[in-house]
Chains A and B, each alone.
Chain A
Amino acid sequence: MSAALLVRALRDPASVEALRAAQWNALLAAAKAERLIATLAVRLEERAVPPAARAVLDDARADAEREAQQALWEADRAAFALRGTGVPPVLLKGAAYAAAGLEAAQGRFIGDLDILVPRAAMDQVERALLAAGWEWVKEDAYDDAYYRQWMHELPPLIHAERDRMIDVHHNILPLTARPRPDPQAMLADAVAAGEGLYVLSPEDRVIHAAAHMLADGDLQGGLRNLWDIHCLLRECDPADLDRRAERHGLARDVRQARRLAGAIYGAGTRLTLRDRLFIARLLARDGWGRETRKPLVFAFYLRSHLLRMPLPMLARHLFTKWRKGHRPQ
């Protein structure tokens, strides 16, 4: 299992010094597939690495640095577009980590821009972004209505000139999910990150990352999300984290995120049977970058949908999507 090789290299960078070429190939392929290659590059900065591997790592690192610069520019443009509305955009995930200069941002690839704004301001924000050159990606009326009725975000928008996507959130989980986080409290505690930008408080960052990974998705890219959590945990107060997680209905997910991060990237932790299933899913990647353990991966895919909505609603939704030609991978 090459994901295990990747995890070991991140946890113990000295371990790569014993690798042979074939293992390097497996490590680099798994790291690229998990989008952790530039993080690995940062971790291996001081280590003796064969020149051929160093060249690959350097390229990845330069890519991540460029993406961070681009993400901050995009955040700046969004803040500029929203200036007239009086709504300060609170950055989430990658762009937030970069804006706040966090350890989690080092070597992190940053794709879309995610921002959190008050639900009451959504119409205003939408109008301001459309006026500033963002356009709808999805033309599909069903998808659009679905997003607006049930999701925690607007349908994605792309900037016409810069070709960059923005996700505008009013909550951190879909409205159909069982936990009911309180986005108003998160917005109230947001902290300034300079240049008119805001980010969540250190504790809320962990809560959001844990909610995103464990209460929402199918654990695709989970090793990267868990690396974020591993880094973010070091910057928050554990007691405060527990208190806040309780208030957002996410205490169980935050506790599990802590155990998983401890087991995979930290010093090790006592695990439940359920945790072991999650870890098996997280490590499902081979030395060619392919996903392995197909049945388990599919089970987590189904779980992600069940988390998002009650079963009758899920059945209706999947049937509609299936009729439109959508198939799970």
Chain B
Amino acid sequence: MRHRLTLKIGPANFRIGSAWASPIAALRRLYAGYPDADGCIADFTVRLQPTGALRRWVRPSIFITGDHGLADAAPMSLAHGLLAAEMGMNLQMALGWRRHLLLHASSVEKDGRALVMTGESGSGKSTLAALLGERGWRFMGDEFALLDLTSGAILPFPRLVSLKNSAIDVVKGEVGEARMGPLLRGTAKGDIRHMVPRADAVARMGEGAMPALLLFPRFGHAKDERPVGQAEIFMRMTQASTNYVTLGQPGFAALTRFVQQVPARAIDFPDGEAAVAMVERLWEELA
């Protein structure tokens, strides 16, 4: 394809091709601090291609696909090209990654141990990981946490952090303009802005950590904290994993061990500050 880039993120290499220059230029700028993966053999190919012959030029419309695609994936406008590229990479991981159990979760690390946070879109797990990543924790990822099938460690997958709506200003106030991507207005999930993780997150993206605490955060509620039973945790984690079924027995064994060994809590919070305080306290008590 005309415009192309190879990115290394955690253990995976992505070869991204685009019919248009702008999505690749945006990736190049925001991933400038990542290791040079040019000339590598890629694990996945991502393609941003026009939905039809004319749609390269006339009202440009991006169809996101690659090695793995969804036939009915909604097309996106070229103004959201950066988001399309990010979604393309996620799509390949979600449908194709087999080397770890993929958990739809964010994760951060402190003192060599990992905190894993999982929940629906909008639960605040991305924002919380981004905030913690600025306050003494190492950011490991906001979309996928990779659970190693043999060691039980959590491995980083530190892509750009995708911030939505009100979370954008909260995090921007913390990290400043220089590490923020363009504001993408009116996407399917509202306004989105990407944030570049700190240099330490990128430099140590090959380095895993044993999980020490699992949280189910929920943003927008009065402060509350509840224990969660192992059976419920197991069910919620299988639903939060895109390759649990595919991995079969090794996935079951790894998830069973994770659920049995990692203490877990559900937490509700009204805002980021309250959430950070709750996390720090639970980390002191449980991890």
Residues on B with beta carbons closer than 8 Å to the beta carbon of A25 = 15, 41-42, 45
Q: How many angstroms between the C-alpha atoms of A66 and B249 in the bound complex?
A: 11
Interface size class of B (residues with CB under 8 A): 10 to 19
Pick the residue among A52, A66, A290 that contacts B40 (CB under 8 A): A52
Pick the residue among B41, B43, B45 that contacts A288 (CB under 8 A): B45
13 contacts between A and B (CB under 8 A): A25-B15, A25-B45, A28-B42, A28-B45, A29-B15, A56-B41, A63-B246, A66-B246, A288-B17, A288-B45, A289-B45, A289-B67, A290-B49
Residues on A with beta carbons closer than 8 Å to the beta carbon of B190 = none
New contact pairs (10) apart from A25-B41, A33-B67, A59-B98, CB-CB < 8 Å = A21-B39, A25-B45, A32-B67, A52-B43, A53-B41, A288-B1, A288-B17, A288-B47, A289-B47, A290-B47
Pick the residue among A29, A66, A288 that contacts B248 (CB under 8 A): A66
Q: Are A62 and B98 in contact (CB under 8 A)?
A: yes
User: What residue of chain B has the Cβ atom nearest to residue A163's Cβ?
Assistant: B245
Residue A24 at the B interface, CB < 8 A?
Answer: yes
Give chain A interface residues in 51-72, CB to chain B under 8 Å.
Answer: 52-53, 55-56, 59, 62-63, 66
Which residue numbers of B lie inside 8 Å of A, CB to CB? Answer: 1, 13, 15, 17, 39-43, 45, 47, 49, 66-67, 96, 98-99, 246, 248
Q: How many angstroms between the C-alpha atoms of A288 and B18 in the bound complex?
A: 11
Pick the residue among B41, B43, B248 that contacts A50 (CB under 8 A): B41
Q: Are A52 and B246 in contact (CB under 8 A)?
A: no
Residues on A with beta carbons closer than 8 Å to the beta carbon of B15 = 25, 29
| Minimum distance in angstroms from A160 CB to a CB of chain B | 16
Which of A24, A32, A288 has the most CB atoms of chain B within a 10 A radius of its CB?
Answer: A288
- Complex A-B, nearest 4 residue pairs according to Cβ-Cβ distance, in ascending order: A52-B41, A59-B98, A32-B67, A29-B45
Residues on B with beta carbons closer than 8 Å to the beta carbon of A288 = 1, 17, 45, 47
Q: How many angstroms between the C-alpha atoms of A28 and B45 in the bound complex?
A: 9
| Minimum distance in angstroms from A150 CB to a CB of chain B | 25
Q: How many angstroms between the C-alpha atoms of A25 and B246 in the bound complex?
A: 24
User: What residue of chain B has the Cβ atom nearest to residue A63's Cβ?
Assistant: B98
Pick the residue among B42, B66, B99 that contacts A59 (CB under 8 A): B99
| Minimum distance in angstroms from A297 CB to a CB of chain B | 13
Residues on A with beta carbons closer than 8 Å to the beta carbon of B99 = 55, 59
Q: How many angstroms between the C-alpha atoms of A1 and B45 in the bound complex?
A: 17
Residues on B with beta carbons closer than 8 Å to the beta carbon of A21 = 39-41
Specify the main secondary structure of chain A where it touches its partner. Answer: helix
| Minimum distance in angstroms from B17 CB to a CB of chain A | 5
Residues on A with beta carbons closer than 8 Å to the beta carbon of B13 = 52
The number of residues on chain A lying at the interface, defined by a beta carbon within 8 Å of a beta carbon of chain B, is 20
Which residue numbers of A lie inside 8 Å of B, CB to CB? Answer: 21-22, 24-25, 28-29, 32-33, 50, 52-53, 55-56, 59, 62-63, 66, 288-290
Residues on A with beta carbons closer than 8 Å to the beta carbon of B17 = 288
| Minimum distance in angstroms from A280 CB to a CB of chain B | 21
| Minimum distance in angstroms from B155 CB to a CB of chain A | 15
Q: Are B43 and A56 in contact (CB under 8 A)?
A: yes
| Minimum distance in angstroms from B28 CB to a CB of chain A | 18
User: What residue of chain A has the Cβ atom nearest to residue B53's Cβ?
Assistant: A294
Q: How many angstroms between the C-alpha atoms of A289 and B17 in the bound complex?
A: 11
User: What residue of chain A has the Cβ atom nearest to residue B69's Cβ?
Assistant: A289
Residues on B with beta carbons closer than 8 Å to the beta carbon of A22 = 39
Residues on A with beta carbons closer than 8 Å to the beta carbon of B41 = 21, 24-25, 28, 50, 52-53, 56
| Minimum distance in angstroms from B18 CB to a CB of chain A | 10
Q: How many angstroms between the C-alpha atoms of A270 and B42 in the bound complex?
A: 38
Q: How many angstroms between the C-alpha atoms of A108 and B39 in the bound complex?
A: 30
Residues on A with beta carbons closer than 8 Å to the beta carbon of B1 = 288
User: What residue of chain A has the Cβ atom nearest to residue B42's Cβ?
Assistant: A25
Q: How many angstroms between the C-alpha atoms of A109 and B47 in the bound complex?
A: 23
| Minimum distance in angstroms from A197 CB to a CB of chain B | 23
| Minimum distance in angstroms from A19 CB to a CB of chain B | 9
Q: How many angstroms between the C-alpha atoms of A62 and B248 in the bound complex?
A: 11
Residues on B with beta carbons closer than 8 Å to the beta carbon of A53 = 41
Q: How many angstroms between the C-alpha atoms of A83 and B41 in the bound complex?
A: 50
| Minimum distance in angstroms from A323 CB to a CB of chain B | 20
Residues on B with beta carbons closer than 8 Å to the beta carbon of A66 = 246, 248
User: What residue of chain A has the Cβ atom nearest to residue B47's Cβ?
Assistant: A288
Residues on B with beta carbons closer than 8 Å to the beta carbon of A33 = 67
Q: How many angstroms between the C-alpha atoms of A52 and B43 in the bound complex?
A: 7
| Minimum distance in angstroms from A72 CB to a CB of chain B | 14
Residues on B with beta carbons closer than 8 Å to the beta carbon of A52 = 13, 40-43
| Minimum distance in angstroms from A35 CB to a CB of chain B | 11
Residues on A with beta carbons closer than 8 Å to the beta carbon of B66 = 289
Q: How many angstroms between the C-alpha atoms of A52 and B223 in the bound complex?
A: 47
Q: How many angstroms between the C-alpha atoms of A182 and B176 in the bound complex?
A: 74
Residues on A with beta carbons closer than 8 Å to the beta carbon of B39 = 21-22
Q: How many angstroms between the C-alpha atoms of A56 and B97 in the bound complex?
A: 10
Q: How many angstroms between the C-alpha atoms of A55 and B42 in the bound complex?
A: 10
Q: How many angstroms between the C-alpha atoms of A288 and B15 in the bound complex?
A: 9
Q: How many angstroms between the C-alpha atoms of A290 and B2 in the bound complex?
A: 13
Q: How many angstroms between the C-alpha atoms of A140 and B40 in the bound complex?
A: 48
User: What residue of chain B has the Cβ atom nearest to residue A22's Cβ?
Assistant: B39
| Minimum distance in angstroms from B283 CB to a CB of chain A | 35
Q: How many angstroms between the C-alpha atoms of A62 and B249 in the bound complex?
A: 13
| Minimum distance in angstroms from A111 CB to a CB of chain B | 14
| Minimum distance in angstroms from B229 CB to a CB of chain A | 25
